[in-house]
Amino acid sequence: MIVKDIMTTEFVSLSPKTHFFEAAKLLLDHHVSGAPVIDDTGTLVGVLSEKDLFRALYPSYKEFYLQPDQYISHEGLRESLSDAMDKSVEQIMSKRLITTHPGGSILKIGGLMVATGIHRVPVVKDEKVVGMVSRGDVYRAILQQDFNLYSELD
């Protein structure tokens, strides 16, 4: 089985200029935990995940160690939450891109997901995002193909 057999072709994407609140709302509204970030030319420039949004809500390690008192207090943490609302997707997205192509091996992309700790991978063809594949997609496909676990449920 290859990536095109399991990828999702209807997916939510974001612009780098989208603001934090708008991006968070879009992910919530569509019940997805992440989305590719695509610039005005249609080029994939990053991926935004719930983890990225969550990190934006809290101070970084460096900020914490420079001003620990500010982040121990409730008021300091509230200020950090407020600061997140001013951030754009471009400021908080993951820029380390791991992609696959429609003819890619699901076993290979599953291994990359485990090794890198990512949960979704953009599927790229001719430099355009044509789909998304998630850990769950890969997991279900392997269970079905190699262990026949879903054939009984059909």
For the chain, list the domains and their CATH numbers: 3-147 (3.10.580.10)
From the list 79, 114, 82, the residue with the least C-alpha distance to 98 is 114
What is the average per-residue pLDDT within 58-64?
A: 74
CA distance 20 to 145: 39
CA distance 1 to 105: 7
Q: Which residue has the higher pLDDT, 55 or 74?
A: 55
* Average pLDDT score, the chain: 89
Predicted confidence (pLDDT) per residue in 105-131, tens digit:
999 999 999 999 999 999 999 989 999
What is the average per-residue pLDDT within 74-92?
A: 82
Report the predicted TM-score, pTM, of the whole model to 2 decimal places: 0.84
CA distance 154 to 12: 28
Phi, psi of 80 (to 5 degrees): -60, -40
- Per DSSP bridges, beta strands 44-49 and 120-125 are unpaired
